[in-house]
Amino acid sequence: MIKKLENRKWKVLSSKNLINLGTWLNVREEEVELPNGTRIPSWIILHFPNWINVIAITKEGKFVMIDQYRHALAETHYELVAGVIDEGETPLQAAQRELSEETGFGGGEWQLFMTLSPNPTNHDNMSFTFLATDVEQICEPHQEASEDIHVHIVEPNDVRQLLEQGEIIQALHAEPVWKYFSNQRCSNRKIRYPIGHLIFFACIVYVIRTNSEHQG
Which CATH number belongs to the domain containing residue 182 in this structure? 3.90.79.10
Q: How far apart are CA 19 and CA 150, in angstroms?
A: 33
Q: How far apart are CA 176 and CA 181, in angstroms?
A: 9
Q: Could you give the number of structural domains in the chain?
A: 2
68 lies in the same domain as 100: yes
Containing structural domain, residue 36? 11-47
Residue 189 has a pLDDT of: 57
82 lies in the same domain as 120: yes
55 lies in the same domain as 41: no
33 lies in the same domain as 84: no
pLDDT digits (tens, 9 = 90+) for 90-144: 999 999 999 999 999 999 999 999 999 999 999 999 999 999 999 999 999 988 7
Q: Residue 151: pLDDT band by 50, 70, 90 thresholds?
A: very high
132 lies in the same domain as 30: no
pLDDT digits (tens, 9 = 90+) for 45-99: 999 999 999 999 999 999 999 999 999 999 999 999 999 999 999 999 999 999 9
* Position with higher pLDDT, 205 vs 23: 23
Is position 212 within any domain?
Answer: no
Is position 85 within any domain?
Answer: yes
* Four-CA torsion 76, 77, 81, 86, nearest 10 degrees: -50
17 lies in the same domain as 120: no
Q: Is the pLDDT of residue 195 over 90?
A: no
